[in-house]
Amino acid sequence: MSSIRRLRKIHSARRLVSVLLMLGIGVLSGCASGGRVIETPVVLLEGIALQQLNFKEQTFQLRFNVDNPNPFPLPISSVRYKVFLEQMQFAGGETGGKFTVPANGATSFDVSVNLDLLKSASTLSSLLRGGVSRPLDYELQGSLAVAIPFTKPLNFAREGTIVVQ
């Protein structure tokens, strides 16, 4: 009889652990989706710098800033982005680098973009015809993939003006 009681106690303990785990997962998934506890960081396009220019291609460096309004660090596993200059798509892609934005803090990251002069000549010439020192309207769209279980990507969008350097 004592072995049956022991088995029942083990079974009850396992059932309790299973229920607690399911409740925890439910709370986490609810927090990470509909009842979002994570505030979306503010992502800004801080700079566009021409790195290399030759007959065939140009290389630009895009500098982004991520401001975390949350009281905990955000581990970012990737960033998807699209940059529009004067309502024309200038660059887009996904970063593979991982970084962490400190709690209630900010960090910057750079992305190198290569453009083919032959394919983008009309777009680039129309954007840069007034000289690269004039302010250009930009629109930034994208999402941050956060390395926190059950958290969906955090979407961001921003508009402003920027000078290509």
- Residues 52 and 1 occupy one common structural domain: no
Q: Do residues 25 and 75 both lie within one domain?
A: no
Q: What is the pTM of this model?
A: 0.71
Flag residues of the chain having pLDDT under 50. Answer: 19-23, 25-27, 29-34, 129-130
Of 133, 134, 140, 129, nearest to 46 by C-alpha is 140
Q: Do 19 and 46 share a structural domain?
A: no
The enclosing domain of 87 has a CATH number of: 2.60.40.1820
30 & 63 share domain: no
Q: Note the pLDDT of residue 64.
A: 94
Contact in structure between 148 and 38 (CB atoms under 8 Å): yes
Q: Which domain does 22 fall in, by range?
A: 1-37
Do 17 and 76 have their domain in common?
no
Please tell me whether residues 27 and 106 are part of one structural domain: no
